């Protein structure tokens, strides 16, 4: 071993220290001299403002524009001052656009993260043998729905809007002016858009792309909802194809009718209030997803073992309630972006929206738990139902969140918390097997939230409900029409497409032996928890168990 205290070792260390000191000195002196030279020989650089980058809306311009002309306050004319004031106002407006775009993008990022919440809730409410399959659907639907929306969904939904919403539109160009309209009566009615396929052409615009991102993550929520209702029996190939259709066709058509300048939003032309409204998506997002979940669950049939020989439903418990509760908190957090972000602007209304969202989520959880504890025969504050109550309150407040007072938000959430309990047991008795309660949370309460605008809106931000003005029945009528159209469109279009996919693939459902063994191995090739249960493959399921399952499904 080398002696660290020998003369040669000490000299080597001294040489190394001297070298490091020389490098450090050179590193410090060189930049310092350069900065000193710049300070003495070069004038201070003017800030680069109002560049093409700024004018495109891609960056935040300076509040002092480059063409601002300094004037002597003693000799300046009114025209000089007015000219400079106009220049500053223009630059300030561009800064406002930039702030709104950043707010919209950040809110969109929050909504995207809600996908993790859905994955946790749905997986926790299902059995361990299917956990990898359910989680994978929640993961893959993000890519599938986005692909469909990118290819044609955005164009169909927003391509006829005329232009990007003004609060994030820095160029004020009508880049989405490809509306397909029909003339009925004395009015033109927009049916769908035809500009923006593959985000091509003049849709390659900062504002249009910002709007695309925000609309896309909303669509993804709709596409996710059926994955919970069809969990534990949905064939992966069928899920793959159906999700493309949701993002590319089913969701965008109704979405365009309400959010893309379409005919439902134009009902104000016939004096039905201000036209159908849905501030953040109780119907555009949630009712659509709930209606799709209803028709596909009915077509797919219940899980094996859900109903006894007498036809009465039997509980099939989820495997991880803490996962469900954690996922619900993730969703509640992301919902602030969902609702407040729908302003597309960092203005005062986002405070109203955020508080209303929070109040409705709390009252939904509270009253769902109290109902189960005090009124329902279980007499226990069921944790999964409390979670569904919170989500139901959030869904219900999503449409009216910007139009109602805080007291009304609390009432809406409380009512939603009770409605979701009633609805879950109703659909179960009707023979519709929904493992996570998606139909009740999103469908039933999505419709309730849509109608709440016509009931509780106080006129502070536009619409007035009939609680405040007898003429509010017109707004309620517009909301009702939108709800009926939403349900009908998704039941018909979604049902036909789902049925056709089943015919092409042979079935939308896995075989009984796969369902009994669990979908993880057969469909995904990887179990979620190999150490927690005895793994069996589909070919290891006893034949008598398969025959009994087939007979049960045939009877249903």
pLDDT above 80 for 157? yes
Interatomic CA distance for residues 440 and 479, integer angstroms: 19
Report the pLDDT averaged over residues 109-138: 98
| Residue 101 pLDDT | 93
| Residue 16 pLDDT | 54
| Residue 32 pLDDT | 44
Report the pLDDT averaged over residues 1-25: 54
Q: Tens digits of per-residue pLDDT, 386-423?
A: 999 999 999 999 999 999 999 999 999 999 999 999 99
Q: Are 214 and 107 in contact (CB under 8 A)?
A: yes
Residue 318 has a CB neighbour count (10 Å cut-off) of 21
Interatomic CA distance for residues 275 and 268, integer angstroms: 4
Residue 94 — very low, low, confident or very high, per pLDDT cuts 50/70/90?
A: confident
Residue 39 has a CB neighbour count (10 Å cut-off) of 9
Residue 174 has, within 13 A of its CA and on its CB side, a CA count of 8
Selection from 386, 214, 218 nearest residue 288 by Cα: 218
CA angle (416, 251, 441) in 5-degree steps: 15
Residue 18 has a CB neighbour count (10 Å cut-off) of 10
Report the pLDDT averaged over residues 215-228: 98
Residue 369 has a CB neighbour count (10 Å cut-off) of 21
Q: Are 528 and 131 in contact (CB under 8 A)?
A: yes
Could you give the percent of the chain with pLDDT greater than 70?
A: 83
Helix residue ranges, H only, 301-382: 321-340, 349-370
First to last CA, the chain: 82
| Residue 377 pLDDT | 87
Q: How many helices (H) and strands (E) does the chain have?
A: 20, 2
CA distances from 32 to 10, 20, 45, 428 (A): 33, 19, 18, 75
| Residue 51 pLDDT | 33
Residue 162 — very low, low, confident or very high, per pLDDT cuts 50/70/90?
A: confident
């Amino acid at each position: 071993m080398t002696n660290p205290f020998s003369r040669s070792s000490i000299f080597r260390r001294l040489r190394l220290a001297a070298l490091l000191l020389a490098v450090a000195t050179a590193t410090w002196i060189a930049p310092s001299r350069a900065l000193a030279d710049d300070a003495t020989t070069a004038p201070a650089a003017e800030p680069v403002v109002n560049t093409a980058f700024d004018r495109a809306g891609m960056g935040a311009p300076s509040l002092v524009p480059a063409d601002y002309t300094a004037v002597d306050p003693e000799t300046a004319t009114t025209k000089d001052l007015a000219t400079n004031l106009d220049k500053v106002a223009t630059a300030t407006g561009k800064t406002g656009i930039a702030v709104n775009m950043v707010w919209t993008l950040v809110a969109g990022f929050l909504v995207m993260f809600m996908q993790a919440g859905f994955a946790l809730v749905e997986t926790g409410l299902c059995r361990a043998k299917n956990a990898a399959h359910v989680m994978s659907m929640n993961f893959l639907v993000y890519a599938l729905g986005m692909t469909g929306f990118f290819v044609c969904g955005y164009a169909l939904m927003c391509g006829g809007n005329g232009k990007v919403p003004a609060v994030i539109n820095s160029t004020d160009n009508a880049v989405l002016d490809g509306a397909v309209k029909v003339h009925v009566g004395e009015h033109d009615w927009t049916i769908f858009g035809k500009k923006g396929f593959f985000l091509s052409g003049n849709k390659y615009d900062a504002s249009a792309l910002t709007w695309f991102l925000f609309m896309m993550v909303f669509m993804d929520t709709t596409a996710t909802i059926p994955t919970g209702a069809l969990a534990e029996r949905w064939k992966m190939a069928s899920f793959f194809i159906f999700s493309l259709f949701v993002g590319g066709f089913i969701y965008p058509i109704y979405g365009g009718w309400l959010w893309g300048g379409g005919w439902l939003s134009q009902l104000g032309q016939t004096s039905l209030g201000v036209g159908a409204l849905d501030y953040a998506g109780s119907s555009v997002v949630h009712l659509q997803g709930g209606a799709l979940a209803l028709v596909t669950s009915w077509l797919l049939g219940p899980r094996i073992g859900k109903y006894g020989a007498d036809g009465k439903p039997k509980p099939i418990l989820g495997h991880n309630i803490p996962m469900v509760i954690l996922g619900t908190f993730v969703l509640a957090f992301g919902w602030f972006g969902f609702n407040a972000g729908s302003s597309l602007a960092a203005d005062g209304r986002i405070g109203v929206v955020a508080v209303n969202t929070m109040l409705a989520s709390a009252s939904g959880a509270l009253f769902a738990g109290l109902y189960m504890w005090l009124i329902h025969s279980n007499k226990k504050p069921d944790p999964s139902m409390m979670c569904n109550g919170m989500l139901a309150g959030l869904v219900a407040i999503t449409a009216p969140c910007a139009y109602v007072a805080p007291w009304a938000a609390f009432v809406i959430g409380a009512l939603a918390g009770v409605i979701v309990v009633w609805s879950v047991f109703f659909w179960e008795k009707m023979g519709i097997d929904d493992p996570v309660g998606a139909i009740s949370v999103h469908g039933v309460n999505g419709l309730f939230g849509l109608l709440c605008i016509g009931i509780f809106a106080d006129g502070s931000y536009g619409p007035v409900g009939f609680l405040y003005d007898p003429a509010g029945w017109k707004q309620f009528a517009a909301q009702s029409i939108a709800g009926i159209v939403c349900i009908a469109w998704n039941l018909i279009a979604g049902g036909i497409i789902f049925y056709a996919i089943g015919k092409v693939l042979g079935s939308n459902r896995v075989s009984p032996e796969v369902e009994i063994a669990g979908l993880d191995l057969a469909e995904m090739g990887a179990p979620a928890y190999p150490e927690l249960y005895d793994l069996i493959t589909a070919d290891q399921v006893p034949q008598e168990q398969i025959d009994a399952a087939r007979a049960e499904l045939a009877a249903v």
